[in-house]
Amino acid sequence: MQNSVIGMDLYRPRALSQQGISGTLETGFYLNVVGYKVMFLKRMNFLGAYVLFERSGL
């Protein structure tokens, strides 16, 4: 469900900017970058926890 919504948001700013709505492309791009940063940080936290778990020898 969330993946389809994210996929639609990737294309929505382009379509709205072609209709002449100002600022939509920049806002959509900014929201997408923030979303990817959050996903990246979550993955890095998962990897960091995995590395610490491996190094602890448990």
d(CA 19, CA 45): 40
Query: Residue 25: is its pLDDT beyond 50?
Result: yes
How confident is the model at residue 9, as a pLDDT? Answer: 52
3-class SS letters over the chain: CHHHHHHHHHHHHHHHHHCCCCCHHHHHHHHHHHHHHHHHHHHHHHHHHHHHHHHHCC
Question: What domain range includes position 31?
Answer: 2-56
Predicted TM-score (pTM) above 0.75: no
Q: How many domains does the chain have?
A: 1
For 26-47, what is each residue's pLDDT tens digit? 677 777 777 777 777 788 788 7
pLDDT band at 19 (very low <50, low <70, confident <90, very high): low
